[in-house]
Structure 1
Amino acid sequence: MTTLVWVGGRLRGGGLLDDADEPVVAARDHGWTVGDGVFETMEVVHGRAFALTRHLKRLEYSMARMGMEPVDTEWVREAVGEVLSAAEGLTRLRITVSSGAGPMSSARGDGPHTLVVVANDSPALTECRAVRVPWRRNERSPLAGVKSTSYAENVVMMEFARSRGADEALMANTHGHLCEGTASNILIEREGEIVTPPLASGCLPGTVRGLALEWGAEASLPIRVAAPGELELGVLDEVTSGAAHAAVTSSTRRVQPLASLDGVELAPGPLLTALAEVFADRSARDTDPQPRRA
């Protein structure tokens, strides 16, 4: 696998002078010691990071929610450009920004930020096999809806899923309402429409989720955000019974109907299949769809 790493203005890996596995983060960096950082992962399409502008907007949002000083997005764009121009065939890119070096406590230091950009040519995720997990997302957490590097609870849930032959874990929030996956948003097709949990559920404001809502509506598909509390976790029982259908959305999966849930093989829903086709067509024509103005 080809891996490229940009940090501190230098490229590593991909046949360059430095190895991609060379240590690049200081021992006192708060991104390492306490998970004080944010990140974005995106698909690379024909040498370009898909929806980069939207991902950078969410990066800024996450940093503001974390109380971190804003990052120079042009600096980030330049780093991304250096990485993507250094090798062909790259498929996935991640931007990570931490608050930089800090004391041996939860108190934040004075920075400056640490920026790391990593890209590789890992294969696309071709199907999603999901399970429900017994833990719940805290929609009142200060990190709810933030793409934070404090990711350990997602790791625990993903290992639970992997131990059961799955590659994604779906969860409820503290009210028992359907929320999200560890690395994806969820769409439910039922009663002739597609609905997705609202941001009030505590889910991440996914880039592909947002585009699926926009592009699906523009294609006259019946798609909307559910009302708070409309989707209980039990709606997944309708999916396993065949009365409803489900798909996940993420930057590495796009719109991907579930292949199985809790070990039950599933058929894709017609509306979700149509939405996946709409997304594929629109994303092929526009690799950097601009955010809508408020």
Structure 2
Amino acid sequence: MIEFDKYGFPRASGIFETIKTVDGKVVSLNRHMRRAVDSARELGIGLPDEESIRKEIVQVITDNPHSVGRLRICFGNNLFHLTHDAYEERTEPARVNFFSETVTGSQHKLFPYDYRFSIIEAARDEGFEDSILFNSKNEITETAVANIVLMIEDQWITPPITAGLLPGVVRGIAIEECAVKVRPIHISEIPDVQSAFLLSSLRIAQPISHIGDMKVKIGEASLALQAEINAHSQAVSVG
């Protein structure tokens, strides 16, 4: 029998994918599976065959139907576990702060995930939704549970993977389909931020209203980018 931690992850180690569902359809499943396959290959984790994974996804969604859901798939050595829970859409912009310590990121979506959740909990204790992380060069990387896109000098930009961050699925869409550029972003550039977004598989594209005490504009450019990312993040049938 599998034991679980307080965040719903198996008490083991491995990789996972968190995926949004809408009316039983799954958003960007193929991109998520490509990332999982790449990580599993690099980390030496055996995965079930694709047909088995898809059958299990259909089954867990059928058994636990939600109009908007959070599908979580965990893979590990001798471990394959899925859950499908209700997800409440975020309708308000995010308030984020800076985490107080340097964080070394990973290009793999790994569990246990306790440390990342502890960052979220600390941010919420201070009245924020998430915290921006930075590396040893004082370059912005990501947040505890999302990638980040900033507008600086009228250009949408996001940090490179080499800065130490997860290659998020929605981040990939923003770069490949929405002309978001990639370059290092030093924390000293924060005062120059005109607009900003959190990108994740559940939020898709959530505008940021505040970075610490600094108010961030949510204007036409933000709404246009959000609409474009949403248009490229459509849910499709698995079966």
Shorter-normalised TM-score: what interval?
0.7 to 0.9
Shift of 1:201: 0.7
Partner of 1:9: none
1:90 & 1:74 partners in 2: Cα distance? Answer: 24
Partner of 2:104: 138
Shift of 1:26: 5.1
2:23 to 46, 51, 54: 46
Partner of 1:238: 192
Shift of 1:90: 4.1
Partner of 2:69: 91
**Contact conserved, 2:21 with 2:235, CA < 8 A, in 1?**
no
2:112 & 2:86 partners in 1: Cα distance? Answer: 25
- Number of residues of Structure 1 aligned to a counterpart in Structure 2: 230
1:127-206 map, 5 Å = 127-138=93-104, 144-206=106-168
**Rg larger for:** 1
1:221-236 map, 5 Å = 223-226=180-183, 230-236=184-190
2:140 & 2:235 partners in 1: Cα distance? Answer: 30
Shift of 1:282: 3.3
Shift of 1:215: 2.0
Query: Pairwise CA RMSD of aligned residues?
Result: 2.0
1:247 & 1:235 partners in 2: Cα distance? Answer: 16
**Contact conserved, 2:47 with 2:75, CA < 8 A, in 1?**
no
- Percent identical across equivalent pairs? 25
TM-aligned CA distance change 1:85 to 1:70, over 3 Å:
closer
Bigger Cα displacement from structure 2, 200-209 vs 116-125: 116-125
2:114 & 2:102 partners in 1: Cα distance? Answer: 14
5+ residue gaps, structure 1:
1-23, 100-112, 218-222, 289-294
2:147 & 2:20 partners in 1: Cα distance? Answer: 16
Which is bigger in relative contact order (C-alpha 8 A, separation at least 6)? 2
Shift of 1:46: 2.4
2:34 to 42, 51, 57: 57
Partner of 1:287: 235
**Contact conserved, 1:132 with 1:171, CA < 8 A, in 2?**
yes
2:121 & 2:177 partners in 1: Cα distance? Answer: 33
Shift of 1:44: 0.5
Partner of 1:260: 210
**Contact conserved, 1:125 with 1:252, CA < 8 A, in 2?**
no
Shift of 1:246: 1.3
**Contact conserved, 2:66 with 2:85, CA < 8 A, in 1?**
no
2:13 & 2:160 partners in 1: Cα distance? Answer: 26
1:119 & 1:135 partners in 2: Cα distance? Answer: 33
Shift of 1:47: 1.1
2:178 to 203, 207, 216: 216
Amino acid at match of 2:132: L
What's the CA shift string for 1:187-229, capped at 9, x where partnerless? 0101121010001011100000111122213xxxxx2111xxx
1:116 & 1:259 partners in 2: Cα distance? Answer: 36
Shift of 1:88: 4.4
Partner of 1:121: 86
1:275 to 225, 233, 236: 225
1:46 & 1:177 partners in 2: Cα distance? Answer: 39
Partner of 1:102: none
2:130 & 2:40 partners in 1: Cα distance? Answer: 26
5+ residue gaps, structure 2:
none
Could you state the TM-score of these two structures normalised by the residue count of structure 2?
0.88
2:97 & 2:154 partners in 1: Cα distance? Answer: 24
Partner of 1:15: none
Shift of 1:37: 0.8
Could you state the TM-score of these two structures normalised by the residue count of structure 1?
0.72
